[in-house]
Amino acid sequence: MTHAVTDAFAEVPTTAAREIARGFSWPECPRWHEGTLWFSDMYTGTLKTIDANGTVSVVVDANSRSAGTDVPIVLGGFGWLPDGRLIVTSMHEKLVLVHDGSAPDALTEYADVSMHAPGPINDMVVDSDGRAYVTQLGFDLFNGADPAPSPILVVEPDGTVAVADKIGPLMGANGIVLSADERTAYTAEAFLNKILIMDRSSDGSLTNHRVLAVAPSLPDGIALDEDGGVWAAMPGSGYVARFDADGTMTDAISVPLESGTGSACMLGGPDRKTLYITVGLEVFDFEKSAREAKASIWIADVSRSGGDSRP
């Protein structure tokens, strides 16, 4: 970590996070849903929950999809359709899968986005109509390819796939969120260290993207609070930071780097004033990450609520 990154947090009020659970591969994409924390335990091919008593449960298991294929089964961003079904990105299959809730492995194909995805797909947010906005890396990060621009993908409620062409290609759109009124979307343009804000129309189209903030380190998963502030996990920096609507960094949450790297965050809890942080140790070696299971979930109490933002 450079001195410039360290110095960026020097004057920002900082709170230390605390660990609440351990024993995961690479946790990502935390969600607060019906009073429970959900997240992807990526390299085990599962979605898990942690309840108020700290009990960890596997609720979605995609490992049966690995039969007869060399494509890694890694679940990414997920959300819920208006009828209650869960949809989730299968990153390397370049599919959105739907889970009917009848059994952990009850997954079927919902949408194939591969025609627009040169590399793994990534995070996702679902609007109240059931429209899904899917981000993607845009290149094969895990096999050493160079970063390249790629578009946000849109899966319409009928399952058809389109490109958010009014936004244009981005350099690694990552975490993505919607405001409570769904008139505004935000994403982390990871490889340019930017947090972007976009207008969202009633027909679901995204337009007028502009920079909300420039982050001191690569931004990954993000969360939105009811005051229009964006919380961004910045892997390798040791911090999750909040950027105000004017782009100013107002708060920082520290996670010791020896415990891992914060990859994503979500505002949850009864009043949505608990910041949950997924913390991983090995992102590139899938097998080692799953076998050693050293990753963890951390929390910090914050003064801002997530309100009704999505996810």
* pLDDT tens figures, 126-164: 999 999 999 998 877 777 778 889 999 999 999 999 999
Cα distance between residue 99 and residue 107, in whole Å: 5
Residue recorded with tokens 């911090």: 239
Q: Is residue 307 part of a domain?
A: no
* Token pair in block for residue 213: 């903030």
Question: Which residues on neighbouring strands pair with residue 92, listed in sequence order?
Answer: none
Helix (H, G, I), strand (E, B) or coil at 302: coil
Domain total of the chain: 1
For residue 67, CA distances in Å to 1, 72, 263, 296 come to: 41, 11, 29, 29
Domain coverage including residue 214: 3-301
Q: Is residue 306 part of a domain?
A: no
Q: Which of 9, 41, 13, 46 is nearest to 28 (CA)?
A: 41
Q: Is residue 308 part of a domain?
A: no
Q: Is residue 219 part of a domain?
A: yes
CA angle 90, 93, 95 (to 5 degrees): 60
Please write the tens of the pLDDT for every residue from 186-218: 999 999 999 999 999 999 999 999 999 999 999
Q: Which residues of the chain have pLDDT under 50?
A: none
- Burial label, 228 (beta-carbon count in 10 A; 0-12, 13-18, 19+): middle
Q: Which residues contact 266 (CB under 8 A, 6 or more apart)?
A: 30, 31, 32, 37, 221, 223, 275, 276, 306, 311
CA angle 263, 182, 190 (to 5 degrees): 30
pLDDT given at position 2: 64
Cα distance between residue 131 and residue 79, in whole Å: 10
Contact 202, 187 (CB under 8 A): no
pTM, two decimals, is 0.96
Cα distance between residue 231 and residue 228, in whole Å: 10
CATH assignment of the domain containing 169: 2.120.10.30
pLDDT given at position 5: 66
Rg (CA), the chain: 18
